[in-house]
Structure 1
């Protein structure tokens, strides 16, 4: 498969770049956060905007190719930690926290069970270690 893609790329003058694929279908391509949900052919953002899921994922893959924080050989847990930090920063700009996002149904509760999520909560008002 890789050789076939490379042949077509050479023929068309394109470049093939391998990227770390974790979470590319679970990120909202409009803001780079984990706020939203993919259901079948739809990705619904936290704000209710519905995107075609494959198009949304393709845009995330394109961005991943130039991402300086997420490298090709990172494991899924490391990628999730980066994405949770980005999501927390985005929410902070709205005056909200990761916990708020889970309570609002914007962030999948599976993320709240991770070490990265718990580390981001340390020092937040109203949370305990």
Structure 2
């Protein structure tokens, strides 16, 4: 298997929070949670295989699943006339992968393609602003 493209992606878990317009958003996470690596398209590979390849090619912090406890506070000023949004999760990666299979004739190979969201040990809130 080979990972041929990747980008950073926040793997949100649990509720999305919204506050505003303007002001300050203050969140205290009071519930434990977890995020897991998931194959989002394609077949013929395992989560274990995806994580192993991601550790080698993307980030040594890649994991099958990451859990977090209950104590984490987040504070952010919201721009005037905007709404602040936040969600807790893993700062992981979106990856595209391909896997080659050698056919019995040994002359040709078949390729399977797919995508996956890979969890990472790094966790925290993702924040963004919207007009409404």
TM over 0.5, shorter chain = no
Higher share in strand: 2
Which TM-score band applies after superposition, normalised by the shorter structure? Answer: under 0.3
Q: Which entry has the higher C-alpha Rg, 1 or 2? A: 2
Q: RCO greater where, 1 or 2, for CA within 8 Å and sep 6 or more?
A: 2
What TM-score results when the alignment is normalised by the length of structure 1?
0.25
